[in-house]
Amino acid sequence: MMHKNFLLFTLAALAVTLCFADDDSEPWNYVIADKSKGPDSWSTHFEECGGSKNSPIDLPTSKDELYGEKAVGWDMHKWNKFNDWTVLNNHYTVKFSLENEGIMTTKGGALGANYEVLQFHLHWGANNRKGSEHLVDGKSYPMELHFVHKNEKFTTVQDAVSSGDSDAFAALGFFFELQEEDNPDLDDLVEAVKAVRNETNYQESGVKVNVSEFVSSASRSSYYRYFGGLTTPGCQEIVLWTVFTEPIGISADQMEIIRTQDDNSYGVDFFREVQLLGSRPLTLYDTNYSPEGYLNSAETFQIFNFLTFISLLITRFF
Ligand SMILES: *[C@@H]1O[C@H](CO)[C@@H](O)[C@H](O)[C@H]1NC(C)=O
Ligand SMILES: *[C@@H]1O[C@H](CO)[C@@H](O)[C@H](O)[C@H]1NC(C)=O
């Protein structure tokens, strides 16, 4: 019975996480000053929000804080099609859910498993000086987009959640950076947000967006990799994270359209503060990889030197 209740609670929490609940019945919010529902209280109501492998985190650029690997290419199947999305304004964010489940898949990228795209959504802030969830050397970008995937080995989202596996879900994060001109590759995305922004819980179906238009360049850049969690309650630590280093360009006007929701959510922060990395390894899959400077290379060189030493001994004595 205990177990069943726990499972139901977890599923309810996930429904909130993946769908982002809304209005007064909301069990949590992003308001720092709100002691009962704000981020400081999340771990009281959702135990895993107090875990040691939470997300987001601050990403360092200094190699001596990173493990280095050569970037492994991606197979983003059907990302370059005009797929149909249901676009929902759920008060916290605008969420694009893929209508044909399983049609878009993500392989490669050293993920270690194949993943199916479920949805993508955005995190932004009250102004352009903040908004991204992950930071780079403590610096915010004005927006971050997350593609949420389910590990293909699970039939349903529920199965994936209840597995508790650290790689049950994969999230691909993309930063946005301000540029002078509008980015025409974002036209369909911005139009879709505009169409639902006037009303909480308003949604439109059959919205055609070709996500390759805005991710194709950034998805060829170096990327960070670590094991973490959902960035909203219940914060389950079941997400393999990828964050691409190259941002997608966006104009201040386009940012303003996305930020300007006609309900009462204008000028609000929709992102979580960074969490501690702790003892988790953080790897940069580097498109210009060379081992010097990375954390792991010292070890690699030590092993190399040891082997050289042994072979010298061998040649000397035999
Ligand atoms: C929001 O826009 C949609 C589509 O234009 C419309 O059907 C809906 O009634 C609008 N809601 C409000 C509260 O204006
Ligand atoms: C989707 O966008 C990509 C990148 O711009 C492009 O190569 C591809 O042809 C587009 N797909 C369609 C169906 O237009």
Compute, in angstroms, the gap from residue 11 CA to the centroid of ligand 2. Answer: 36
Nearest CA residue ID for atom 2, ligand 1: 198
Q: Is the CB of 262 under 6 A from ligand 1?
A: no
Please check whether residue 307 lies inside any domain of the structure.
no
CA 268 / ligand 2 centre spacing (Å): 34
Q: Is 201 in the pocket of ligand 1 (CB under 6 A)?
A: no
- The answer as to whether 300 is a domain residue is no
Range of the domain at 14: 2-287
**How much distance in Å is there from the Cα of 37 to the middle of ligand 1?**
29
123 assigned to some structural domain: yes
Tell me whether residue 312 is in a domain. no
Q: Specify if 26 maps to a domain.
A: yes
| pLDDT per residue as tens, the chain (318 positions) | 344 444 444 444 444 444 444 345 678 989 888 899 999 999 999 999 999 999 999 999 999 999 999 999 999 999 999 999 999 998 888 999 999 999 999 999 999 999 999 999 999 999 999 999 999 999 999 999 999 999 999 999 999 999 999 999 999 999 999 999 999 999 999 999 999 988 888 999 999 999 999 999 999 999 999 999 999 999 999 999 999 999 999 999 999 999 887 666 666 899 999 999 999 999 999 999 999 999 986 555 555 566 666 776 676 665
Number of domains in the chain: 1
Ligand with smallest separation from the Cα of 203:
1
Q: Is 112 left (phi over 0), alpha (psi -120 to 50) or beta?
A: left
Predicted structure pTM score: 0.87
Residue owning the nearest CA to atom 14 of ligand 1: 198
Q: From CA 210, how far away is CA 172, in angstroms rounded? A: 16
Q: Is residue 196 a part of any domain in this protein?
A: yes
Residue at 23 is within a domain: yes
Judge whether 207 lies within some domain.
yes
CATH number at residue 154: 3.10.200.10
